[in-house]
Amino acid sequence: MTFVVTSNCRGCRFTDCVAVCPVECFHGDGEMLYIDPDECIDCGACVPECPVEAIFDEAQLPKAEEKWLKLNAELARNLPVIAEQGDPLPGAQKRKEELGF
């Protein structure tokens, strides 16, 4: 089991999730974050922290977001750990509104 970052994170990267993760399993590029499934302990703490509801338990992934399970695992492996909260991406607030949050 793991938790998965999905498409709403892209272009937002609010990083509130990182601040509560006890095991530093978030990795990131310039667009979004990804969870390393080998490190995630399934605590669920990150889910309510995301202002755009981008994080799901893999067992509850919406159909349209299923591709992110594999992508998180693949991409997290080769990207740096993001262990500290930082500024959201420029345009994150606008994207958040567009997403309906």
For binding to ligand SF4 (CB under 6 A), which residues are involved? 3, 20-21, 23, 25, 35, 40-46
- What number of other Cβ atoms are within 10 A of residue 57's Cβ? 13
Closer residue to ligand SF4 in complex, CB, 83/99: 83
Question: CA–CA separation, 98 vs 3, rounded Å?
Answer: 24
Within 1-101, residue ranges assigned H as helices are 16-20, 67-77, 92-98
What's the rounded Cα separation, in Å, for the pair 95 and 45? 23
Beta strand residue intervals within 36-95, DSSP E? 55-57
Binding residue for ligand F3S (CB under 6 A) from 2, 3, 4, 14? 14
Q: Which does 52 bind (CB under 5 to 8 A by kind): ligand SF4, ligand F3S, none?
A: ligand F3S
Segment 24 to 83, residues that bind ligand F3S, using CB under 6 A: 32-33, 49-50, 52, 54-55
Q: Rule CB under 6 A: which residues touch ligand F3S?
A: 5, 9, 12-17, 32-33, 49-50, 52, 54-55
